[in-house]
Amino acid sequence: MSISARQVAFDLLNKVTTEDAYANLLMPALLRKSGLDTRESAFAQELAFSTIRWQYTYDCILNTVSSRPVDQIDPTLLNALRLGAHQLLNMRVPAHAALSETVELVRKNLGEKVVGFSNGVLRRVSEKSFDQWKNLIVEGKNEVETLSILYSHPVWIVQALKQSLITDGLGDELEALLRSNNTPADVNLVALPGFASRDDYREDDVELDRLSPIGFSLESGRPDELQGFGTGVRVQDEGSQLAALALANYREVGEGESWLDLCAGPGGKAALLAALSKESGASLVANEVQEHRADLVRDALSPIDNRIRVMVEDGRLFGEMMPNKFDRILVDAPCTGLGALRRRPEARWRRSAADLKTLTGLQFELLASGYEALKPGGLLLYVTCSPHLSETTAIIDKAMRNLGCEVLDLTSFMNDKYLHGALPAGRRTVQLHTQRDNTDSMFMALITKP
């Protein structure tokens, strides 16, 4: 029996909710298994990903109309109600179809016992438009709580994004950033230097990236249908490209340089560094603490150079193993992922403010280990896909106090080379912002060992 687009979306939500699955990695497998055509596949993706994005807003609405608080509704049933709410309020689906199809989904997956409850809740949701519901559910809320509900972000994330924007004099762009996080990102690709050129794809309905000289976006079609996809062409956000380019091009590469990607999994930035190092005559070591992620790194690097050494070591201990060894090091530290919410919508529900203490401790340990492995005079780029100040400038301030490192002026370099003067003067580290740069909100700090 064929699987419907709504069933695919429902299965995805349940795996994300109950198994901590990553939506962007799981969806292709579910679509292949379903056998849906292109149109129905697009419907399933829009339904699933947008429901995840707007989850909190829908929960506030459901909480208003349900006889049970949402936190007391079975998670699987709640996912079905969220899918129904999204179709009723935020898609061009006729109300009768949204109601009947969602109720049938509930009947098929959860049984007859909860059909009446589901039907009653969704009929009440359908009585108002999305704008009417939003006006109702923010009554009596303060500014941050209102934005949290209207744009479906946890309060602690809204506060963190606000502080980051204020640091760069962009405090009045908070709503624009939240809106950007709820707008699906284009499929962004990189043409690996020495293996492909983005100019080769001008006839494939692409748009050249504004910031990265090796990046382009696919406006229609599937990226895996492009010639050279998986070898010379990879999916990669423009911000990630800029990070690798910054480390490789900040100054001329010397003869026989040795490079390290300390936290290389799953291998996206490592692949670009591999291409750049091969072009410049440098050697690269890629390290990843988890064996299964190291396998992904090997897969990513093998089409570029199968001689690259992939190590499986705890990055926090790497500096002791190889002190003063490398000329250039990338420390792309694990983080909250708040800079990539438009690509990974479930990340906003997966992390909490309580996670910061553990994450920031790990981030500093990795940075300190990388610094120990850095040659005197070498370059170390600390990167997080997060604008949270605790994961960005606070880590660098701590490194300056405790490690004696020097922070180089990456802002001036990036403004001159890639950002066209968009970065604010007066700071040496770089914070990209999605609403301004159309990239993930990557943070970068370039340090050296005197």
Confidence at residue 222, expressed as pLDDT on a 0 to 100 scale: 78
pLDDT in tens, 207-223: 999 999 999 998 767 78
CA distance 288 to 264: 5
- Domain locations along the chain: 5-134, 186-236, 237-448
CATH 3.40.50.150 fits 237-448, yes or no: yes
- Mean pLDDT (whole number) for 404-430: 96
Q: Where does 342-392 have alpha helices with state H? A: 347-350, 355-373
- Mean pLDDT (whole number) for 312-327: 98
Q: pTM for the whole thing? A: 0.94
Tell me the CATH architecture of domain 5-134: Orthogonal Bundle (1.10)
pLDDT in tens, 183-240: 998 899 999 999 999 998 887 788 999 999 999 998 767 788 899 999 999 999 999 9
- Mean pLDDT (whole number) for 13-40: 93
Residues serving a catalytic function are 385
Reading across the β-sheet that carries 233-235, which strands appear in turn? 206-208, 215-218, 187-191, 233-235
- Mean pLDDT (whole number) for 24-45: 93
- Mean pLDDT (whole number) for 43-59: 97
Q: Within a 13 Å sphere around the CA of 3, how many CA atoms are in the beta-carbon half?
A: 17
Kindly tell me if the per-residue pLDDT of 1 is higher than 70: no
- Taking a C-beta distance cutoff of 8 angstroms, is the pair 372, 319 a contact? yes
Confidence at residue 25, expressed as pLDDT on a 0 to 100 scale: 87
User: Token pair of 421, please?
Assistant: 């003067």
- Mean pLDDT (whole number) for 331-342: 97
User: Token pair of 278, please?
Assistant: 């091969």
Confidence at residue 2, expressed as pLDDT on a 0 to 100 scale: 59
Query: What is the three-state SS of 388-439?
Result: CHHHCHHHHHHHHHHHCCEECCHHHHHHHHHHCCCCCCCCCCEECCHHHHCC
Kindly tell me if the per-residue pLDDT of 336 is higher than 60: yes
- Judged by DSSP in three states, 202 sits in coil
Confidence at residue 219, expressed as pLDDT on a 0 to 100 scale: 73
Q: What is the mean pLDDT of the chain?
A: 96
Q: What percentage of the chain carries pLDDT values higher than 70?
A: 99
Per DSSP, the residues of 7-49 read HHHHHHHHHHHHH---HHHHHHHHHHHHT--HHHHHHHHHHHH
